[in-house]
Amino acid sequence: MRRLLASGPFSGVLLGLAMATAAAQEIPVVTEEGVIKGTMDIDFKSRTNLDTTGKLKEGSPALGAKDIYNLKMTVATTTEYVGKIERQPQLLSSIILQEKQPAQLFFNLNLAVRNPKNPNERKDVGKWTGTAPINPKTGVYSLAGTSDSAVRVQVNAIGAQPAYTDKFGGKLVGKSKQEEGLASYTYKRLIGNKTVEMKVTKVDPMKFEDLELAKGPSTNYPHTLVNGRLDYDYETGNWLTDGITFSYNYNGKDTKDVMTGSIKWVEDENRKANGKGYYEFNLRFNEEKNKPNTTEADAFAKLSDEDAFFAVDDSIPCLTGKVTYEDKFISGGGDEPVPASSKVTYDLKANKITKVQAVNFFKLWLIGIGPINDE
């Protein structure tokens, strides 16, 4: 992970990670439980702390109210992300609709690494910080940040290794949040030698347009360019994609990963009372280059197209597992309860994917934290 060695009590962390990077001519693949694990507590203050002055547009949050996402996550065993992300809504005055508060996304995450040979050796190395403006009319998140607060990974000097800063960039276009006029789309999956299809009638895409992921927190997680779309299905609450590309250079070799698959929403039968539900992940990496094992895929032959579409095929490199929600709803929310807060638990498994793929997905998932967790 580190090209230069450090002295002091945490030199073992950097030495172990540097050796792992130097030894890797190709990106090693891993199969492990908990490749992305941890917790996130969400407080939707934009829904619960409403304006009472009458100076803002009716139904607006109070001035300064933000949605707060507090998280403590471990990714690929050796990297940690601890801190919070805040989303601030645009606020307009009640009469002439003058902007009183811009829409923005704030990152304030502490970054740490662990020695892969001795996970008890841990070192804080820097931050993921900065402010991304949001255009409420277009839904565009500008990941370059503001003029005085670029969205960036900032890593401190440790021993002989110099400090570095690497910036995010490009655009995320959030969900439209309008079900009217949405187009239908047909998704395809390869199960053994059979292609199965599923048509969704109301697709609301979250788009990634030349979105740049900053490198780090260690240098073996490279700067990455992302394009593609992750589509939301209003009828089921599922997320689906026919291809998100991650392009980067690793050890001097240009690499492109294509992620396809589904994130299925499963509600507890008593969700209105207990607030429980979970996302079931089934994301494939480079499935065109890693054709399903025909023998193993025979197990899916008798499934309906829809069941086969969501079935996990471990013969293909994939990210699987669950992200579990326990919501507390706003009282008097009607037939469709709206969360006031959420406790979220991540437990995702790597199956023959690389740690670079896991870290890239995690960074992208955090950038979309607002649209992904809205209901």
Q: What is the pLDDT of residues 175-214, one digit of tens each?
A: 776 666 678 888 888 776 678 888 888 888 899 999 999 9
Q: In 234-371, at which residue ranges do the beta strands (DSSP E only) sit?
A: 239-250, 253-267, 276-285, 318-329, 339-354
Task: State yes or no: pLDDT of 4 exceeds 70.
Answer: no
Burial class (CB in 10 A: 0-12, 13-18, 19+), 130: buried
The reported pLDDT for the residue numbered 293 is 61
Higher per-residue pLDDT: 160 or 235 = 235
Is 258 among the domain residues?
yes
The β-bridge relationship of strands 203-213 and 194-200 is unpaired
Residue 143 lies in a domain: yes
pTM of the entire predicted model: 0.89
Q: Provide φ and ψ at 349, rounded to 5°.
A: -115, 140
Q: Which residues contact 332 (CB under 8 A, 6 or more apart)?
A: none
| Burial 107-125, CB ≥16 within 10 A → b, else e | bebbbbbbbbeeeebebeb
Percent of the residues in the chain that have a pLDDT greater than 70, as a whole number: 87
The answer to whether 82 touches 70, Cβ cutoff 8 Å, is: no
Residue 224 has what pLDDT?
98
Quote the mean pLDDT of the chain. 87
Reply yes or no on whether the pLDDT at 5 is more than 80.
no
Asked whether residue 6 is assigned to any structural domain, the reply reads: no
pLDDT at res. 298:
63
- Contact 28/76 with Cβ under 8 angstroms? no
Beta bridge partners of 145: 150
Question: In 3D, which of 63, 151, 152, 149 has the Cα closest to residue 99?
Answer: 63
Residue 287 predicted with pLDDT over 90: no
| Model confidence band, residue 296 (pLDDT cutoffs 50, 70, 90) | low
- 47-58 pLDDT, tens per residue? 999 999 999 999
Q: Containing domain of residue 145, as a range? A: 11-373
> Do residues 220 and 23 lie in contact, with contact meaning Cβ atoms separated by under 8 Å?
no
Q: Which residue has the higher pLDDT, 90 or 180?
A: 90
pLDDT of residue 59: 93
Give how many domains the chain has, as a whole number: 1
Identify whether 160 is part of a domain: yes
Is 92 a domain residue? yes
Structure confidence by residue, pLDDT tens digits, 12-67: 444 444 444 444 457 889 999 999 999 999 999 999 999 999 999 999 999 999 99
111 within 8 A of 127, measured Cβ to Cβ? yes
Q: Does residue 2 belong to any structural domain of this protein?
A: no
Which residues are paired to 172 by β-bridges?
141, 208
- 1 within domain boundaries: no
pLDDT per position as a tens digit, 324-358 = 999 999 986 567 789 999 999 999 999 999 999 99
Does residue 4 belong to any structural domain of this protein? no
Instruction: Tell me what percent of the chain is helix, strand and coil, each rounded to the nearest 5.
Output: 15, 50, 35
